[in-house]
Amino acid sequence: MATKASRSAARIMMAPAVVLLLGWMLIPLSLTVIFSFKKFLPLRGDRITDRGEGFGDFMWEYVRGFPTLDWVGFENFSRFVGSSSFWPSVWTTLVIVGGVLAITVVLGILLSLLLDQPMWGQGVVRILVIAPFFVMPTVSALVWKNMFMDPVNGLFAHLWRFFGAEPVAWLSEASMGSIVMIVSWQWLPFATLILLTAIQSLDSEQLEAAEMDGAGPLQRFGHIILPHLGRAITIVILIQTIFLLSIFAEIFVTTGGAFGTRTLTYLIFQRVLESQNVGLGSAGGVYAIILANIVAIFLMRIVGKNLDA
């Protein structure tokens, strides 16, 4: 992509995709923003349009700014933040994201170091390690809930009883830990995979040079391997954060938002679908967008310098 001609050709060829993605993003985003300033309670009889239910009618009202719904200014916003569940849900979100990131990055590095060693049955082991990533979040959360964490029939309960201990009701007594564990299990393969390819791209002569320079295994890890992995770790953290901020299924099928596991996403879901208050939920959505951007900017600041090195 060096010459002027190839750069403008690239721009032209990327244009359709960019326009499509922009529309894909802008329509839902602007809907959320519009609704967040409206009173919209479907159960109380609020309607998007008086004319019909078709997509054409909807788009027409979209363009006109949904005049059938009343503007309420910033009321939804102040009510969403004013609710006693708001700050705990932000905190819960950050704890889950932070916990999962810490676990997946640390274990991912260890696991990828292990998988990089030549061993018997390497191909099969690698596929097995990646397997959890292919299981749908709903399914894996259900498996964890019923097979492992069930206080009566779960595997852990049996294990605890075998050692004479009282089984733990994981999802109610250690709810946050349990959810962090389930989500980490799902995302560990992703982290491992990216870190493994990064480790494999390390020039082995660098490690040999370090070995000759007198660096022991730990020093080789700290001075050579870890800096080399910096960029991959950055990518893992950025991508995972984006997806982890919106985890939902895992909470929905396990605790249902109870026992202090209500994340911001889950709170918005409850406002929109359980309380049937679209305006209030949309205001929460706008807050979530802002939160995600703040986190992203912070991450870029902290780890982004790894990316241009």
Partner 1 sequence: MGRIQLKDVTKSFGDVQVIPPLNLTIEDGEFTVFVGPSGCGKSTLLRLIAGLEDITSGVIEINGEDATDVVPARRGLAMVFQSYALYPHMSVRKNIAFPLRMAKMGQDEIDKRVTAAAEVLNLTDYLDRRPGQLSGGQRQRVAIGRAIVREPAAFLFDEPLSNLDAALRVGMRMEISELHKKLDTTMIYVTHDQVEAMTMADKIVVLQAGNIEQVGSPLELYQRPRNTFVAGFIGSPKMNLISGAEAAKYDAATIGIRPEHIDLSETEGPWKGVVGVSEHLGSDTFFHIQCDFSDEPLTVRASGELTLEYGATVHLTPRAEYLHRFDAEGLRIE
Q: Which is nearer to partner 1, 70 or 203 (CB)?
A: 203
Question: What are the CB-based long-range contacts (under 8 Å, 24+) for 274-277?
Answer: 276/41, 276/42, 276/43, 277/40, 277/41
- Alpha-carbon distance values, 7 to 3, 4, 15, 17, 22 (Å): 6, 5, 12, 16, 21
Virtual torsion, Cα 294, 295, 301, 307, nearest 10 deg: -130
Q: Which is nearer to partner 1, 57 or 211 (CB)?
A: 211
- Cβ atoms of 265 and 288 closer than 8 Å: yes
Nearest distance from C-beta of residue 308 to partner 1, angstroms = 12
Give the DSSP per-residue string, 71-83: E-TTHHHHHHHHS
Nearest distance from C-beta of residue 218 to partner 1, angstroms = 11
Q: Which is nearer to partner 1, 82 or 214 (CB)?
A: 214
Nearest distance from C-beta of residue 234 to partner 1, angstroms = 13
Q: Which is nearer to partner 1, 161 or 223 (CB)?
A: 223
Q: Which residues contact 156 (CB under 8 A, 6 or more apart)?
A: 148, 149, 167, 168, 170
Nearest distance from C-beta of residue 106 to partner 1, angstroms = 21
Nearest distance from C-beta of residue 145 to partner 1, angstroms = 44
Of 74, 91, 12, 89, nearest in space to 39 by CA: 74
User: What amino acid is encoded at 135 in this protein?
Assistant: V
Q: Which is nearer to partner 1, 166 or 205 (CB)?
A: 205
Nearest distance from C-beta of residue 199 to partner 1, angstroms = 15
List residues near partner 1 by CB under 8 A. 203, 205-206, 208-215, 219, 223-224, 227-228, 230, 309
- Cβ atoms of 236 and 191 closer than 8 Å: yes
Q: Which is nearer to partner 1, 98 or 227 (CB)?
A: 227
